[in-house]
Structure 1
Amino acid sequence: MLMPPPFTSEEAPHHSALLRAIDAGFQFLHLSESEGQEIAAIYAERWCSYGVVESFTIRGMNEAVSARIRTENYPDGDPLWQHTGSVEAVITELLALPPHGFPGAPTITRRRFSGLLLLPGTL
């Protein structure tokens, strides 16, 4: 059996963040190009019991976006919170948010960033 090469020091923090997302209950979907051959992005989401859907989309190691959207506004509504950056940064920031409805949690919706779409799906 062929083993994948070890992660580089640059890749390791992003891989670690993805493992934390799996442990936190995110479900993943690979989004393919129109021909269905090459993966264009990785999308992950989790439905939280406290009334929000949290998601992130990854197009590259340094091209990712995460968001929290109220369940009743999902999938087309504007997010309560979103963050763009590296895979590690968007997952870390998302997992650090207080639960919706708790002190310090975002409460006001904002317009969705236009650069990198969230591509919500149904998992």
Structure 2
Amino acid sequence: MGPSIKAKLMENVMRSDRMGIQDYGNDIFRVIFGKGDLTVDLNNHTCSYNAWDMNGMPCLHACDAIKSFHENVYKYVDKYLTQEAQEKIYNKVMIAIETYVITIPDILNYDDYRHTVFLQPPFTTWPPERPRTQKVESQF
């Protein structure tokens, strides 16, 4: 995995220390925190919080359940987040860009820019004040 994914995963592991766990069997856990509780299924890689389903990385509730089960957290990260999968995805997309060394002359004079057309931003006028949001009532 890349360093950013590892950092996010380790942040979830560190934030998951203050939760209570109840084991329902068959790798299904109830995670109790604050005023609520969530259900985590380690076999299906799902959590009722839905963060694990959305980004493929165990959320902090799932990390707490994985730690209580004494498993490796990296085992539950989706395969598409691994470095090998990323290399396969971007193998043909990433094309090397040719670079050129451009010399900058020390002295520039008028003759260098005489035939060059410089583009200027368009000339726009703004109203003198903010436009009205309501109509002005008539005198009659």
User: TM-score band (shorter)?
Assistant: under 0.3
Q: Which has the higher contact order (CA 8 A, sep 6+)?
A: 1
Query: Larger strand proportion, structure 1 or 2?
Result: 1
Give the TM-score normalised by structure 1: 0.28
Query: Larger helix proportion, structure 1 or 2?
Result: 2
